Amino acid sequence: MRHVSLPFAGRLSGRHPDTAESTVMVTTATEQPEQAGPAKLAVRFLLGAVLSAAVACFVVGAVVAKWSVIGIGGALVVATYVVAVIRELRNGTAGPRDRTPDPVTLTALARIESRRAIGGDTGDVPVEFDLTVQPEDGPAHRVTFSQGINLVDIPDYRPGRVVVVEYRSDQLWRPRIVADPAPEWAERAGAAALDTAPESTRVAGPDLGLASCAVVLAGIAIGAAVVVLVFRADLF
């Protein structure tokens, strides 16, 4: 658990910032990106297999001149569509407790841990930042991202400086440094002193990775193979 002194925290409690200073208890915690779990991988596998089987039915049915096979492919497509519609309807009628809150844009203070220009020598230069972000009502976390910064402004973003960032509540890994924040936030950033969050709190984007692609490709291959094997006598 870390302590961060925010001189302007008195505003949150209704007291004047010049006469009240509070210490905010900051708990750092790891918030990992959403991973594709077994259930999601299974759904992607089945979707790939069913759609692949449907396409294979259309092709095989056309080759062997059997409308019944083409009809099976059409039935698979319709069934997939119906399942998707039912799922959307269920999500739309979910109660407040079951529904995921709509994402909102949040503003927070952040400490620049490091910066590194990754290209360009004129105009806006892509800069890779490593930040410690301290939300107002959540745990501090580390994040690495890239943002275009004007070449002449890069010296202003020195390590250790506290800046103002904005990010969506569902995308902690995609903050953006606010070059011209509101006066209140600019004042808070100039007076705040933030500790460096540990590496264990680093967040990153969702891992779409090779596992998901491999599962979908496997489903496509198996779906097509099953149709070919079932009608191999007519094909060969």
Q: Which tens digits make up the pLDDT trace of 46-97?
A: 888 898 999 999 998 888 888 988 898 899 999 888 888 887 787 666 555 5
Verify that 11 and 121 share a domain, yes or no. Answer: yes
Verify that 118 and 84 share a domain, yes or no. Answer: no
Q: What is the dihedral of CA 122, 123, 128, 132, to 10 degrees?
A: 140
Verify that 85 and 109 share a domain, yes or no. Answer: no
Verify that 125 and 184 share a domain, yes or no. Answer: yes
Verify that 111 and 178 share a domain, yes or no. Answer: yes
Verify that 64 and 172 share a domain, yes or no. Answer: no
What pTM, to 2 d.p., does this model score? Answer: 0.55
Q: Is residue 168 a contact partner of residue 103, using CB atoms and an 8 Å limit?
A: yes
All residues at 6 or more sequence positions from 229 whose CB lies less than 8 Å from its CB, including other chains: none
Among candidate residues 141, 190, 137, 143, the one with its CA nearest the CA of residue 163: 190
- Low-confidence winner among 129-143, 171-185, 201-215 (lowest mean pLDDT): 201-215
The whole-angstrom separation of Cα 218 and Cα 143 is: 34
In the chain, the number of structural domains is 2
All residues at 6 or more sequence positions from 19 whose CB lies less than 8 Å from its CB, including other chains: 10
Q: What is the pLDDT of residue 36?
A: 52
- Residue 29 vs residue 40, higher pLDDT: 40
Verify that 48 and 162 share a domain, yes or no. Answer: no
Q: Is residue 227 a contact partner of residue 38, using CB atoms and an 8 Å limit?
A: no
- On the question of pLDDT at 14 being above 50, the answer is no
Verify that 12 and 52 share a domain, yes or no. Answer: no
Verify that 113 and 166 share a domain, yes or no. Answer: yes
Verify that 72 and 179 share a domain, yes or no. Answer: no
Instruction: Determine, yes or no, domain membership for 157.
Output: yes
Verify that 107 and 187 share a domain, yes or no. Answer: yes
**For residue 219, what are the domain limits?**
38-98+209-235
